[in-house]
């Protein structure tokens, strides 16, 4: 199975504040992705996850569309794959989505224009999704006689089973305001306010303890859908006790009571 060269289709930049921007950069094809782009995204997500100096990752794109989903040439190749090759191909996408979903850093999807098919999966894997009013979404797979299988765990988690049952089957196109009501999008802004809104979210996050932010994200992942039993009570109690006595926890508490700026804000 051939993996096409995706050079320059995925860009990555990290600024001095520890904010990484990963950019889908194939605007002529509406940032549609193929196996090469998936491999590059997977590599990038894993590399950033290992970096202690990176606190936030913004997932963005160039051009009019966030991403049109699967590239047509890739789909043509997939149509001729054997079952085993299709399984391998699907696993690659599934592992990319898992890498994004479980990144320790805060992830922000910055969406303009169309986000179709697998791009809805990318948005569903991010912690925070900010879209402009012209953004539109579509789980379009059934139009091609396919299903949104690999993205489904993340989409169902984002918008719930009821909405997923509808949009998986209808392939209806819906816009940012509807996506917000479904829980897929967190904020909807005017097109010319998208950059500033994302920047403001970054500033909000950087004002918080960086270790605490990572642990808070992991906390949400770990306690979701768990029974509130003695084991969970003990685990959560242990976590707050541990971070209270940590260097960052002590610095944050002392800064608050001493009415001064904590050290991590001074660095940023």
**Interval 56-113: pLDDT, tens:** 999 999 999 999 988 888 888 888 889 999 999 999 999 999 999 999 999 999 999 9
Token pair in block for residue 61: 């794109």
The pLDDT mean for the chain works out to 94
Give the three-class secondary structure for 138.
strand
Q: Look at 48 and 4; give whichever has higher pLDDT.
A: 48
Q: Look at 266 and 186; give whichever has higher pLDDT.
A: 186
Where in 85-204 does DSSP place strands (E)? 106-111, 114-116, 128-132, 136-138, 173-175, 187-189
Name the residue with tokens 């960086």: 210
The domains located in the chain, with CATH, are: 10-205 (3.90.226.10), 209-267 (1.10.12.10)
Cβ within 8 Å of residue 207, ≥6 positions away: 265, 268
Distance, first Cα to last Cα, the chain:
45
Cβ within 8 Å of residue 79, ≥6 positions away: none
Model confidence over 112-139: pLDDT tens digits? 999 999 999 999 999 999 999 999 999 9
Token pair in block for residue 37: 């782009």
- pLDDT recorded at residue 2: 40
- pLDDT recorded at residue 268: 54
Model confidence over 205-244: pLDDT tens digits? 999 999 999 999 999 999 999 999 999 999 999 999 999 9
- pLDDT recorded at residue 5: 44
Token pair in block for residue 49: 């996850």
DSSP 141: G
């Amino acid at each position: 199975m051939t993996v096409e060269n995706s050079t320059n289709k995925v860009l990555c930049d990290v600024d001095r504040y520890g904010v990484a921007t990963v950019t889908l950069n194939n605007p002529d094809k509406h940032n549609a992705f193929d196996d090469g782009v998936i491999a590059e995204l997977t590599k990038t997500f894993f590399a950033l996850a290992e970096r202690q100096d990176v606190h936030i990752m913004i997932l963005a794109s160039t051009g009019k569309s966030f991403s049109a989903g699967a590239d047509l040439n890739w789909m043509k190749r997939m149509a001729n794959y054997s079952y085993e090759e299709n399984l391998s191909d699907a696993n690659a996408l599934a592992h990319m989505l898992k890498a994004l979903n479980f990144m320790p850093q805060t992830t922000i999807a910055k969406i303009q224009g169309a986000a179709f098919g697998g791009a809805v999966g990318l948005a569903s894997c991010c912690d925070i999704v900010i879209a402009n009013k012209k953004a539109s979404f579509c789980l379009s797979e059934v139009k091609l006689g396919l299903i949104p299988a690999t993205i489904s765990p993340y989409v169902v988690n984002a918008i719930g089973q009821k909405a997923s049952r509808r949009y998986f089957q209808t392939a209806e196109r819906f816009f940012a305001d509807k996506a917000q009501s479904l829980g897929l999008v967190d904020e909807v802004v005017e097109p010319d306010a998208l950059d500033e809104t994302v920047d403001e979210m970054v500033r909000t996050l950087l004002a918080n303890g960086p270790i605490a932010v990572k642990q808070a994200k992991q906390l949400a992942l770990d306690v979701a859908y768990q029974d509130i039993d003695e084991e969970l009570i003990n685990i959560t109690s242990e976590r707050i006790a541990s971070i209270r006595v940590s260097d960052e926890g002590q610095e944050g508490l002392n800064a608050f009571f001493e009415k001064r700026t904590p050290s991590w804000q001074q660095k940023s």
